[in-house]
Structure 1
């Protein structure tokens, strides 16, 4: 990956520069510092509100008052049945050519 591509992909993750020499030397009344303070004051504070619920299977089975482990148990059971069926059919093919 080119350095410029990496820089572009990370641009959204890196916050704006706060302590630039121009912003620090001019005190807290500079326009740049005011913009930074305004930017950070608009960010949400604290934990995620409980009204926002995760969607899909995660929201339905693993979060909230209906949280349970049934999907995990169902997945394990289905995988067991599929594995058993494959093993049984392979065993039948083994007996097809002759008894052991």
Structure 2
């Protein structure tokens, strides 16, 4: 891969340089640095809030200690049984 192509490919992964040595050593902050500081100061601080537990069928069968695929298999077998019964009765008549 060419150097310019790799630079373009990695450009989205490597953050832009927001502070130059002159801006940092002069004690002042540039407008670009100030916008980054404002952005990060608005982010929530502290631990992440606990996730809400799922309720209903999802919480009962698909999450938690009793999680299993049994309801999905039961639904497939029930639909197969209904379809087989309908097809059997249509062919019979």
TM-score by length of 2: 0.49
TM-score, length basis structure 1: 0.47
